[in-house]
Structure 1
Amino acid sequence: MKVVLLERVERLGVIGDVVTVKDGFARNFLLPRQKALRATTSNLKVFEAQRDQIEIRNAEARATAERLGSRLDGEGYILIRQAGESGQLYGSVSGRDVAEAVEAGGGHVERSQVVLDRPIKTLGVHDVKVRLHAEVTVTIHVNIARSQDEAERQSRGENIIASQFDEERAAAAQQAQELFEGGAGQAMEEAAY
């Protein structure tokens, strides 16, 4: 199906481009969200008559998105989640979770604006892109931890999982050293006297 774009659509084109897309994509995404019109002669005439208004509306929406983006860009948000010893989350963090964290932090982001290539399934600080407008994308930092203390340690750059294993290894070595120095049998002999 041929459509004329009413706004910039990633990997398709910019305002006014006439492109051919699959019928389902046009019927289910582009047309209902008013991102495009069918490329009929009457719609092309209507588009050309309203082109200036559409471009002005797009410029205003981009300016609003840039203002919001300047406040959000580089901001950090903390999500407390349950996770196993290896740092794997019980579940995953989705776009909805990120949008709710931004809302709780005072920003405004729709969950459809959060761009996750894949769900987040591990502890740590993750960079997440937020597409506020077709031409405005910002990056926020999402710190996923098991507790507020872990989140603070991760924000300082510490690898929680590696340090946890190092602490356990050091404690085991200390315990083995104490047993070796004191001698397991020596402690029993002293107790008998």
Structure 2
Amino acid sequence: MEVVLLEDVKALGKKGQIVKVNDGYARNFILPKKLGIEATAKNLNDLKLQKANEARVAAEQLEAAKELGAKLSEAAITLSIRAGEGGRAFGSVSGKEISAAIKSQLGYDIDKKKLVLPEPLKTFGTHEVPVKLHKDVTAKLNVKVIES
């Protein structure tokens, strides 16, 4: 029996693959656990339409991420932190604070997990912070840290 896998099945195949399995294995394991469906003409056509729809949605998301990346690359945000003696900073600027500043100053809702900060910003000046908007799109945001 040929089966279209709906999920990854260990030692059998990945999601979307058409695999040939024994009738008993399909009837007793794959079909009841909804890991796959029988490879009929209707199911194959539905799968093809679903893949086309997913590809279209992925292309739209990529295009939106590219547009947002272009806007973020042109923009800059300013954050202020307290300074001690000798111009040393008290504390640091974290991804959470940068995310909140993007929302308040630029109006874009960027999750703090998308900011690629190896460590918080502890010095004054302008820093380029990479923002991973999509697996293929990374924008550079200018963050200016000033004394308050």
TM-score (norm 1): 0.51
1:72-117 Cα distance to aligned partner (Å, 9 max, x none): 1131111011122344322211111111111011222111111112
Question: Matched residue of 1:43: which SS?
Answer: coil
**Is contact 1:87–1:122 with CA below 8 Å preserved after alignment?**
no
Per chain length, whose mean CA-contact separation is higher, i.e. which structure has more relative contact order (CA < 8 Å, sep 6+)? Answer: 2
Asked if 1:59 corresponds to 2:59, the answer is yes
Are 1:111 and 2:83 an aligned pair? no
Instruction: Kindly report which structure 2 residues correspond to 1:165-184, keeping only aligned pairs within 5 A, or say none.
Output: none
Q: Residue 91 of structure 2 corresponds to which residue in structure 1?
A: 91
Moved more, 77-86 or 48-57: 48-57
SS at structure 2 position matched to 1:138: strand
Structure (1 or 2) with the larger CA radius of gyration: 1
CA contact (8 A) 1:75 1:140 kept: yes
SS at 1:65's partner residue?
Answer: helix
CA distance in 2, matches of 1:143, 1:86: 19
TM-score, normalization by structure 2: 0.64
Unaligned runs of 5+ in 1: 1-36, 148-193
Residue 169 of structure 1 is matched in structure 2 by: none
Give the conservation status (yes or no) of the 8 Å contact 1:125–1:143. yes
**What's the RMSD between the two structures over aligned residues?**
2.2
CA offsets 1:15-42 (integer angstroms, 9 cap, x no match): xxxxxxxxxxxxxxxxxxxxxx645437
**Does the residue aligned with 1:92 lie in a helix, a strand or coil?**
coil
Structure with the larger helix share: 1
Which structure 2 segments of 5+ residues have no match? 1-6, 18-35, 37-43
